[in-house]
Structure formats: C-alpha cells, structure tokens
C-alpha cells in the first residue's frame, strides 16, 4: 500500500514537471532566436583577449571533411555557422562564423576579389536606415566592426571579415556578411589568395 501511494505521489510530481518543461522549452528557443535577431553593431567597442578566445565547436580546428572541391576552397555552411578551408586528404580547417540573420541569408558561388587589412567601415544607406546611430564612416582599427581583415566576395557587398563582437560567433546576426574573431580572420586571410573559390550554402554534407 505504501509503495502504491509513493508511486501515485511521484506521478503527481512528474506530470507538472513535464508540463513546466513543455512551456519552458519554447521560451528558451524563442530567447535564442531573439539573440540571433537583435544583436546590433557596437562601433568603438574593443573586446578583451579573453572575450576573443573561442572554445568548443566554434574554436578553430582541423576536422575530417569529405568534399570533391580542391584544397584551398572555402566552403561556408550558413546553417551550422562554420567556415571550412579545404585541405588535402579529406581534411579541412574549420572556423566558427557569424552569418546573416533572417532576411539576409543567401547562398551561391563567389571568389575572393580583394583583400584588406584593418579595413575602413562605411555602413550602406540601408544599414544606417535600420540603425540611425551608426557612424557614416569609421577608420580601420581594433574597435571597427569590420575587424582586423576583410576578404571581399566578387562584386557583391558581402565580405568575410573580422569583428569586435566575438560573442556573435555562431549566431545569425549580420546583414549578409560572414564574421570571424580577429585571430581566426587573420589566420584565414594569410592562407587564401585573391581568386579563391568561395561556396556559400545552407548545409554541408560531412
């Protein structure tokens, strides 16, 4: 009898817990989506070295990666928020990236058309309309949202560049560009020449 009573009490306690979890899970998911959607640029902010140190999946690392693309090709997986630099023998250097938020996501084939160290920042009119507080011009430097390096993608307005917001790596936050922490973008910049093939796609098959 005592065992039956204890079992009944456990069921009474578990059901509210499951119900509570069912309510909390969508709230947590919504919060994550809000983080992806609402992060704004912070011109002038200079992150600390500790902030720029990525850990876990988004830390730069050599990974197994099977592809028919030639070594030296850059492949950006916008759904997983990774950039791969293809290496020989089914390997790739994988970097964590921030990608375009909802409404600014895209895919396609491009080439690196130009490279720039410590690029200046000129927010386009559309960005200024969305964020009127932004400067019209900001010289390159540690507090510049373009970060330490930029690699321009064909004739588009999009770039692979650094960032002064390392906390945004792994999120969908940009206006269509791909951002890396400064140490990683410097590393990538030194490895890829102008003319490098860049594939942007929604998913990468490993």
> What tens digit of pLDDT does each residue of 96-128 get?
999 998 888 899 999 999 999 999 877 767 767
Catalytic residue selected from 177, 188, 192, 200: 177
Q: Which of 194, 188, 161, 195 is nearest to 176 (CA)?
A: 161
Tokens 């410590």 sit at which residue? 118
Going by pLDDT thresholds of 50, 70 and 90, the confidence category of residue 45 is: low
> Does the pTM exceed 0.85?
no
| Predicted local distance difference test score (pLDDT) of residue 203 | 61
The reply to whether 177 belongs to the active site is: yes
Going by pLDDT thresholds of 50, 70 and 90, the confidence category of residue 5 is: very low
Q: Domains of the chain (ranges plus CATH)?
A: 56-201 (2.40.440.10)
Catalytic residue selected from 81, 94, 159, 161: 161
* Cα 134 to Cα 44, 144, 167, 173, distances in angstroms: 11, 12, 20, 16
β-pairing, 82-87 vs 74-77, is: antiparallel
Asked if 140 and 146 touch (Cβ cutoff 8 Å), the reply is yes
Q: What per-residue string of b and e applies to 78-90 under the rule 16 or more CB within 10 Å gives b?
A: bebbbbbbbbeee
DSSP letter at 15? H
The reply to whether 161 belongs to the active site is: yes
């Amino acid at each position: 009898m005592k065992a039956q009573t204890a079992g009944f009490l456990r069921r009474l306690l578990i059901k509210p817990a499951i119900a509570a979890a069912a309510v909390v899970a969508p709230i947590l998911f919504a919060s994550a989506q809000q983080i992806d959607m609402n992060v704004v640029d912070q011109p002038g902010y200079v992150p600390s070295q500790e902030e720029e140190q990525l850990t876990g999946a988004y830390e730069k690392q050599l990974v197994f990666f099977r592809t028919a693309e030639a070594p030296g090709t850059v492949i950006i997986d916008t759904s997983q928020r990774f950039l791969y630099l293809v290496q020989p023998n089914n390997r790739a250097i994988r970097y964590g990236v921030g990608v375009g938020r909802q409404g600014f996501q895209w895919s396609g084939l491009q080439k690196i058309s130009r490279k720039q160290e410590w690029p200046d920042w000129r927010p386009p009119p559309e960005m200024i309309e969305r964020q009127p507080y932004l400067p019209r011009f900001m010289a390159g430097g540690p507090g510049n949202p373009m970060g330490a390096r930029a690699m321009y993608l064909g004739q588009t307005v999009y770039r692979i560049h650094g960032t002064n917001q390392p906390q945004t790596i792994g999120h969908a936050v940009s206006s269509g560009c791909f951002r890396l922490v400064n140490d990683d973008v410097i590393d990538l910049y030194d490895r890829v020449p102008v003319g490098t093939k860049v594939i942007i796609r929604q998913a990468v098959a490993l």
